[in-house]
Amino acid sequence: MTQKIIRKLSYGWRLFATDFSFFSFGLAGLILRFLVFSGAVLFTRQSLAANKPGDSAYVFIGLMHRIGIMTYEIKGLEKLNRPGQLIIANHPTLIDIVFLISRIQQAYCIVKESLLRYPFMRGPILNAGYISNGLPKKMIAECVEWLQSGGAMIVFPEGTRSIPGKLCR
């Protein structure tokens, strides 16, 4: 009987903590968009650096780890952060990009144009200068320019989350 109660309490905690994490992610996106990024532009007349979303991602991962809904182990971190590096990644979960941008300095990403319609994502994406896939020729030119300048580029070739056991389209 007590095992059943413990399982229910554990499930309830994980559900609450996961919901809290996603709520925090969305709230942080709005705060970054309307307070931090707009304030930086107003007072300094320039956007914040591209690694600021990485700093936010690092804090978000720490939050999820500390409240106990996620554990992780990073291997091969020393292979990242090389000038002009192109990182081709699969995308099995929603948190993949958050991990990558939290660990890669000066990382740009190609993002789905549709993400710019989400109020929680729009501000951080635009401020970071991430590259939209909306205009393919412009996208390629911007990627080449960024890589040639020594920045890192993260690309999810499937364009969306991977489905385990299925090949890329």
pLDDT digits (tens, 9 = 90+) for 1-26: 688 888 888 888 888 888 888 888 77
Mean pLDDT of the chain, nearest integer = 79
Bigger pLDDT: 158 vs 137: 137
| Rounded Cα–Cα distance for residues 159 and 161 (Å) | 7
Per-residue model confidence (pLDDT) at position 6: 82
| Rounded Cα–Cα distance for residues 128 and 53 (Å) | 7
Angstrom CA distances, 83 to 51, 150, 163, stand at 14, 4, 31
Bigger pLDDT: 153 vs 124: 153
pLDDT tens readout for residues 55-108: 888 888 888 899 888 888 989 888 888 888 998 887 767 788 888 888 887 788
Structure pTM?
0.69
Per-residue model confidence (pLDDT) at position 111: 87
Handedness of CA 112, 114, 116, 119 (dihedral sign): negative
Model confidence at 162, in pLDDT bands (50, 70, 90)?
low
Query: Which residue type, as a one-letter code, is found at position 110?
Result: I
Sheet strand arrangement including 152-155: 86-88, 152-155, 107-111, 131-132
